[in-house]
Structure 1
Amino acid sequence: MVKKLIPILVLAVLTGCSGELSNSSDDDQKEYILTQLNDYQGLIEIYRKRLSVKDNADERYYLAELYNKIGDYSSSNIYLQPLINKSTEQRYLILHVKNLLELGREKECEDILSSLLAKNSSSGELWNLQGVLFAQEGQYEQAVQSFAKARGLFYNEEVVINNLAMMEILQQNYPKARDHLLDLYSRKKYQRQTVYNLVYTLAKTNDDESAQKIIVDEKLTAGEPYKLIQALKKVSPKEQLNVTNARGINKIQNEAKVDDNDTSKNTFSHETMKIENVAKSENSTSAVSSQVALNCIPQLNNKSKPNAFIGKVENAKIIAGLTAGKISNGNAVALYSAYSLNYIVLPQEKNNQLSIQIFSSMPAGDLYSRQLSILQKYPEINNVDFYNNGDSSITLRITTNKCIVNKAIKRAVGNAKYKEKLLIEFSY
């Protein structure tokens, strides 16, 4: 009888161990899958749960990195701060600087970067960050010198060359910017951003034939390449990049990005002139040309119905609120979010429309009722639509029954619930 019980007991013990191993394996497998899918929100949940049980430096740092990747730079700094309080480890301070740059707190970065470079002047990553800081403060000559040092120290060449090209674009030195970008493009090793910036510089240097060839080869637009080229010729770099004063640049690369060569689902307007990871300007204003204003004829007479937002943007910052109001000679639309919204203003294709591309964001499901309410309350606004671009960005398109002669986009003061308020004003 005893002999018969022993195998049963052994089996029970082995089964129990197998179950524990299976649970551990399931957690590891879930994390692996989420990592492969770049599901940062899912990974954040896993690491918050782990850290609530037992805090440790490596996992806390990784959590701070995840918050940085979804664009929640304030939360990233909150979880990073205890590590900085205990240690001056370089990786902690570098992530802190990246967050501060995104939050527009350049002054706080100056001493940190100076101290880091004094200890490690051979770091290409630090020199690239120094260039980002100078660029964001509008010190373009110093930025170029820093980017050149980063390149000489073998930091990611595509990142650095794109940043050097953007310095030339911002100073309207389009031939030099073009040469930088052609150097990358000819190697057949580039991200989409390189192609977009290259087409822009070719349009600005009136090399329409080359621009058209690249647009067709890279499938940058489903429309006519000629129309896109003509639209780009009219776009100033500062308008396109939302540049104002010392807040310099919409996005400069401060780190290497995963290469993404899949451009088949994207059009040029989806990421035109995107420069990575620099805090946005607080205020962007532009006027439609006087010729357009003089010849302006309202193109719509009847209200349309907003399209329902289709699909989902992974790891999106949710646009949770939408309001509208009247201003002198026009209207305003406001977007609300718990997170900072990264955006660019797209070229104006019609005189009664304005379009804004917003990155890594999507509207909340209940915003549709707010869209309908705005159309009912404000007769001049014909439509407010959100479109899923399919590349982790969306386009907000506002259509009016009058011709738009001026537009301004501002970051206004939010509230306790929504720290981000993006105010879009347009006059007729």
Structure 2
Amino acid sequence: MPVLGHNPTFTDSGIALFAGGDYTAKGGSAEAEGLLVVGGNATFAKSGGVFNVGRVGMGSGIIPKSGDVMLAVGGDLSVDKGVTLDVGHGLTSGPKYGGSVRVGGKLDVKGQLETNGGQSPDGLGKEAALKPNAGFGATIKKESASLGALKATGKTEKQGGSVTFKGSGQGGLQVFEISAADINDVSTFTFESIPGDSSVVVNVTGSQGVKISPMAVGFNGDRVDVYSSSKFGEAASRILYNFEDSASLTLGGGGNFMGSVLAPAASADITASTNGRLYVGGDLTTRGSGNESHNYPWNGTPPFSCEPGEPGEPEKPEVPSTPTPTPSTPEEPGTPEEPEMPGTPEEPGTPSEPGEETPSAEPSEPSAEPSQTPEEPKKEGDLATTGAGSTMMIGVAAALVLAAGGAIAFMARRRRSA
């Protein structure tokens, strides 16, 4: 899977974000990459500026084809005054343009709705607006139950605010189990001895609500939650957390949550950035400070892989010839207000001592800054404003995870001294 960048990399008609209830974007939340499907009402009421849907300023680049539906709402769609909802920004190569919006109820735009050449019909009725995904709520419930019934293949160890998932060393799906009470308030996640290209599912048991403020994630010896990591996309696409019975889910702080989320019974409140698919059966509220949702399909089972194409293998976008006439490049949306610096999450506990089997690679020391500057876009028009080349936001995210870096660095020093 690709690392974070500015340009489209693959086309994907699969659902990236799903809320069975209402979806609300407020505060300084920034963008939602890929197809966003909302069973209830969708309200974009952030504190001024641009909210990107479909194509985003900086993400995986895995998005629907130009002109395809990027936002489907079963109920009403509202855009508050001072807010620009920008769907499919910069997708101007044709034969279709921008991103389309379908609304089952009414469209209430007090700010601006930019579809960049896409369509935006309303009054369609819920089933027609969500087609062909009207039954997706039942799908995620069924898949969650199926994954939840799997027997654990690896070991789970928790110490303080850290949890370590140690694989079996054998190929195939790696399954871990942890109670909602134990994963609650965890901030440092370490995955060890995960073979080859094996996918990972973490089954969270119990109906208790869960609050997580992610600060650091290690995967087979690499620090993967920093934007400079070459394993960022790989880790995001291999991990899935299954909150089968949890009634609520909070992903707090301003760090990166790595992996897909399946929570068919929960409503979710998000201030962290998410990297994976995000499926909740209830309401979904994003209200962080510049937080983003990046579309990385989980490569474990077909229902959550990219479509069309083979499971887990998105198809490369075609580069069509320039149409005649070519529509003008959409105007660049206004610069959003500078988000406030999020509060620093609590210091995580010291991670548990690794077992006798040591991963082949040692964890790398985290860096406060990305190792390289993203390339300027070379195709598909201008960048979306929000998150595009966002040096400030990368700096914020890096600063937030520095405190937790010591936990994984501590493991590296112990291994070197062993």
Q: What is the TM-score of this pair, normalised by structure 1?
A: 0.23
Q: Where is the strand percentage greater, Structure 1 or Structure 2?
A: 2
In our comparison, the structure showing a higher alpha carbon Rg is 1
